[in-house]
C-alpha cells in the first residue's frame, strides 16, 4: 500500500470515528456504556429519544466499531469497544501540532 493510500484510509477511518463521536446523544450513550453492558431498553430509559432514533444512533456507533452488540432472545445488549476509543485518541493525537513548531498562517 502506498503512503497516499494509507493516508486516505487513515483519513477515512478518522472521519468515520469522529462522525460517530460528533453527536450529543451518541456521547450520552457512550457515557452510559462506560458502566458496562446495557440493553436497549435500559439505554432508552436513560435517554430522552424515540426508539427509532436510539436505533439509528446505535447503528452509527456500531458501524464505526465504537460499540458491539449481542443478541439474547428478543433483547439486544450493547457494550463499549475500548479499542475504538483508544484508536480515536491515537488518531486525534496524530493531528496535534508539534510543540516546537510555530503555527504560521499562509495567506
Chain segment 15-39, per-residue pLDDT in tens:
999 999 999 999 999 999 999 999 9
Return phi, psi of residue 69, to 5°: -130, 160
pLDDT for 95 equals: 81
pLDDT for 97 equals: 80
Chain segment 49-103, per-residue pLDDT in tens:
899 999 999 999 999 999 999 999 999 999 999 999 999 999 888 888 877 666 6
Residue 7 has pLDDT above 80, yes or no: no
Cross-strand partners of 69: 78
Residue 42 has pLDDT above 60, yes or no: yes
pLDDT for 52 equals: 94
Enter the C-alpha cell of residue 77.
Answer: 445488549
Q: Which residues contact 91 (CB under 8 A, 6 or more apart)?
A: 10, 13, 14, 17, 18
How confident is residue 105, by pLDDT bands cut at 50, 70 and 90?
A: confident
pLDDT for 21 equals: 96
CA distance 57 to 3: 33
pLDDT for 99 equals: 76
Amino acid at each position: 500500500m502506498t503512503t497516499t493510500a494509507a493516508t486516505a484510509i487513515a483519513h477515512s477511518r478518522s472521519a468515520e470515528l469522529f462522525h460517530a463521536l460528533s453527536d450529543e446523544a451518541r456521547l450520552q450513550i457512550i457515557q452510559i456504556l462506560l458502566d458496562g453492558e446495557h440493553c436497549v431498553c435500559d439505554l432508552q430509559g436513560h435517554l430522552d429519544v424515540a426508539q427509532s432514533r436510539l436505533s439509528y444512533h446505535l447503528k452509527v456507533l456500531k458501524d464505526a466499531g465504537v460499540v458491539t452488540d449481542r443478541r439474547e432472545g428478543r433483547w439486544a445488549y450493547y457494550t463499549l469497544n475500548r479499542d475504538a476509543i483508544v484508536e480515536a485518541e491515537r488518531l486525534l493525537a496524530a493531528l496535534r501540532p508539534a510543540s516546537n513548531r510555530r503555527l504560521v498562517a499562509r495567506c
